[in-house]
Amino acid sequence: MSATRRRFLVAGAGLGVALIVRPAAATPEELAAAIAAYTGGAKVSPGRVSLDIAKLVDNGNTVPVVVSVVSPMTPSDHVKAIAIFNERNPERDVARFALGPRAGRAKVETRIRLATSQKVTAVATMSDGSFWSDTVDVVVVLAACLEGDI
Amino acid sequence: MSRIARRIAAIALAVAGVAHAQGDARRSGFDFMSPATQAMQRDDTSNPAMLWVGDGEVLWRAAAGRAGKSCADCHGDAKTGMRGVAARYPSYDLTAARPLTLAQRVDACRVRHQQAPTLAPESRERLALESYVALQSRGMPIAPPDDARLAPYRERGEKLWRARVGQLDLACAQCHDAHAGERLGGSVVPQAHPTGYPIYRLEWQSLGSLERRLRGCLFGVRAQVPPAGAIELVELEVWLAARAAGMAVDAPGVRP
Amino acid sequence: MARAIVTVTQTAKRGDVIEIRTLIGHPMETGFRVTGEGARIPRDLIRKLTCRYNGDIVFGAEFFPAIAANPFVAFHTIATESGTLSLTWEGDNGFAQTETVAIRVT
């Protein structure tokens, strides 16, 4: 896979023409490394986490996501945290949420930015110290007609 | 039956016929979006456009200008005073001697009756008032006024709609009439009805007016872009409202 | 002061799991954008959102540049007692805003 530099026009809110210069394309290894740094190297098992995100998005600027985790959410068995990571944005981190037994339900909803087609991974930290995850491959396309400084 | 009554009846039939006839193929841009984006628009607690609507509600009640009056002082509660108003715009304005869009009319009101300074196109305050007023027509049919004075502008608007322009040599009609529902790049081409405006456009990461969208589209085909407020843009809006007559307002919309 | 919309039920039964929906107006400038002239547009982000229930932190969120403009976050909490839910957003350039909502729990 070649490291491709891509430049594209983004209309700013009154900020005139803005170009994003992306660093050389991020790699799946970087995503794995970011998750490993987050878990302190502990094993992350796929499962128990459901990352609900469209497989083909209308626009990469605003992508709704819902992360839900199967958990009784009791003081002895609950989700402590949920983190979302991406594969190819300029930075791997998207968001980190701190939950706990007072949450009642391990379900968080937000809207994220995706610069290009890539994998998105949600990681849940359980009260017993285990880590679980779900990954979705998302297709992101640029707007067909680009606006400049008008 | 009087001439006026007959004309009203004819329009009502035409509007009803156009909107509800079986085989009315017109669809709001809402129908061309993914379920996730549709969900964003449907939910007033999370539709980003409601941030501007909230500002508009505050501005509606705030005294402004040398007159020290608020919109509410003359128009009362917007829910009743502005009900159905946005659905009738663009509308011919006697003082300006030309049609005005909703945002232009709000601004004219501020200048004339509040003696307040003009609000720049796409400014936060102007969009806030426009979105707040547009919300009061949500669910109501687009109802262009039966006003002969609008006719020449509507005809010029339709001419613009069908004229090839720009380095890409494209007419609006080519994409939005002939190829609506197909894809340009990864994006679905909508029919380009004004029902959702002003919209929170994901590409802008902000709320914007139909005028902004038209200018953006003209830029996209590499045409000369008329300045904000240009009459050609109003003519296009007059035509678009006629073309969408009878369709339900779904402002403030969310669009890709 | 940015406009914020917080949506939560005003009344609940003790033990109910209630949903809190939050939306705030903010450009979330990533710091990756560059003007046509080549000047970098400075980063300007909301960094965190904290929810307190009668003073106790019940939820926290940390935002990175990949959070979309006009951040929306929805989460849950257990209705334990009547009182005040407060949402505090903090970010770059001294951005700090708190919205409070009263809740009655029976």
Which pLDDT tens digit goes with each residue over A70-83?
Answer: 999 999 999 999 99
Delimit the domains of chain B by residue range.
Answer: 49-135
Active-site annotation of B, residues: 217
Residue A45 C-alpha, separation from nearest chain C C-alpha, in angstroms:
23
Q: Quickly state the pLDDT bin for A147 (edges 50, 70, 90).
A: confident
Residue B111 C-alpha, separation from nearest chain A C-alpha, in angstroms:
24
Query: Which among B35, B204, B220 has CB closest to A146?
Result: B220
Partner residues linked to B141 by β-bridges: B248
Position with higher pLDDT, C25 vs A13: C25
Q: Are C32 and C65 a contacting pair, CB within 8 Å?
A: yes
Which of B37, B41, B46 to mutate to test binding with chain C, by most C CBs within 10 Å of its CB?
B46
Q: For residue B4, what pLDDT is reported?
A: 55
Q: For residue A11, what pLDDT is reported?
A: 36
Q: Quickly state the pLDDT bin for B1 (edges 50, 70, 90).
A: low
The percent of residues in chain B predicted with pLDDT above 90, rounded, is 89
- Counting the structural domains of chain C, the total is 1
Residue B199 C-alpha, separation from nearest chain C C-alpha, in angstroms:
14
B49-135: CATH topology is Cytochrome Bc1 Complex; Chain D, domain 2 (1.10.760)
As a whole number, mean pLDDT of residues A49-76 equals: 96
pTM to 2 decimal places: 0.90
**Are B34 and A56 an interchain contact pair (Cβ–Cβ within 8 Å)?**
yes
Q: How far apart are CA C58 and CA A55, in angstroms?
A: 32
**CATH number for the domain including C40?**
2.60.40.10
Q: For residue A146, what pLDDT is reported?
A: 73
Which of C46, C51, C75 to mutate to test binding with chain A, by most A CBs within 10 Å of its CB?
C75
* Average pLDDT over all residues of chain A: 86
- Using a CB–CB cutoff of 8 Å, tell me whether B36 touches chain C: no
For B206, the 3-state DSSP assignment is strand
As a whole number, mean pLDDT of residues B72-97 equals: 98
Which pLDDT tens digit goes with each residue over B140-177?
Answer: 999 999 999 999 999 999 999 999 999 999 999 999 99
Instruction: Locate B48 and state its tokens.
Output: 């980003």
Which pLDDT tens digit goes with each residue over B171-187?
Answer: 999 999 999 999 988 88
**Are C3 and B54 an interchain contact pair (Cβ–Cβ within 8 Å)?**
yes
Delimit the domains of chain A by residue range.
Answer: 26-138
Query: Which among C33, C60, C80 has CB closest to A97?
Result: C60
CA dihedral B16, B21, B24, B29 (to 10 degrees): 50
Which pLDDT tens digit goes with each residue over A32-42?
Answer: 999 999 999 99
Instruction: Strands of chain B (E only): list them.
Output: 91-93, 98-100, 183-184, 187-188, 199-201, 206-208, 253-255
Instruction: Locate B140 and state its tokens.
Output: 């109501």
Instruction: Locate B110 and state its tokens.
Output: 């501020």
Partner residues linked to C6 by β-bridges: C22
As a whole number, mean pLDDT of residues B52-70 equals: 97
Q: How far apart are CA B2 and CA B14, in angstroms?
A: 18
Q: For residue A14, what pLDDT is reported?
A: 34
**Which chain B residue lies closest to A57 (C-alpha atoms)?**
B34
How far are the Cα atoms of B29, B151, B197, B242 from residue B172, in angstroms, in the given order?
15, 20, 18, 15
**Are C74 and B46 an interchain contact pair (Cβ–Cβ within 8 Å)?**
yes
**Are A98 and C59 an interchain contact pair (Cβ–Cβ within 8 Å)?**
yes
Neighboring chains of B (3 or more beta-carbon pairs < 8 A) = A, C
Q: For residue A28, what pLDDT is reported?
A: 83
Residue C15 C-alpha, separation from nearest chain A C-alpha, in angstroms:
9
pLDDT at A17 over 50: no
Q: How far is residue C93 CA from its own chain's centroid?
A: 17
pLDDT at A2 over 70: no
Q: Quickly state the pLDDT bin for A27 (edges 50, 70, 90).
A: confident
pLDDT at B16 over 70: no
Which of C3, C6, C33 to mutate to test binding with chain B, by most B CBs within 10 Å of its CB?
C3
- Domain span at C19: 4-105
For A147, the 3-state DSSP assignment is coil
Query: Which among B45, B51, B55 has CB closest to C70?
Result: B51
Q: Quickly state the pLDDT bin for B2 (edges 50, 70, 90).
A: low
Residue C52 C-alpha, separation from nearest chain A C-alpha, in angstroms:
11
State in words which class domain A26-138 has.
mainly beta
DSSP-assigned letters across all residues of chain C: ---EEEE--SEE-TT-EEEEEEEE----B-S-EEETTSPBPPPB-EEEEEEEETTEEEEEEEE-TTBPSS-EEEEEEE--SSEEEEEEEEETTTEEEEEEEEEEE-
The percent of residues in chain B predicted with pLDDT above 70, rounded, is 91
**Are C27 and B205 an interchain contact pair (Cβ–Cβ within 8 Å)?**
yes
Going by C-alpha positions, the residue among A118, A94, A79 that lies closest to residue A34 is: A94
**Are B46 and C21 an interchain contact pair (Cβ–Cβ within 8 Å)?**
yes
> Which residues of C are less than 8 Å from B48 in CB distance?
23, 25, 70, 72
Neighboring chains of C (3 or more beta-carbon pairs < 8 A) = A, B
Residue A69 C-alpha, separation from nearest chain C C-alpha, in angstroms:
12
Chain B and chain C share a number of CB contacts under 8 A equal to 31
**Are A20 and C34 an interchain contact pair (Cβ–Cβ within 8 Å)?**
yes
Q: For residue B244, what pLDDT is reported?
A: 98
**Are A147 and B219 an interchain contact pair (Cβ–Cβ within 8 Å)?**
yes
As a whole number, mean pLDDT of residues B110-126 equals: 97
Going by C-alpha positions, the residue among B206, B187, B227, B233 that lies closest to residue B131 is: B206
Chain A and chain B share a number of CB contacts under 8 A equal to 67
Secondary structure (H, E, C), A38-83: HHCCCCEEECCEEEEECCECCCCCCEEEEEEECCCCECCECEEEEE
Q: For residue A1, what pLDDT is reported?
A: 39
The percent of residues in chain C predicted with pLDDT above 70, rounded, is 100
At position C97, the amino acid (one-letter code) is: Q
- Using a CB–CB cutoff of 8 Å, tell me whether A8 touches chain C: no
* Average pLDDT over all residues of chain C: 97
For A149, the 3-state DSSP assignment is coil
At position A66, the amino acid (one-letter code) is: V
Q: Quickly state the pLDDT bin for B13 (edges 50, 70, 90).
A: very low
pLDDT at A61 over 70: yes
Instruction: Locate B206 and state its tokens.
Output: 């902000």
Q: Could you report the predicted ipTM of this complex, rounded to two decimals? A: 0.96
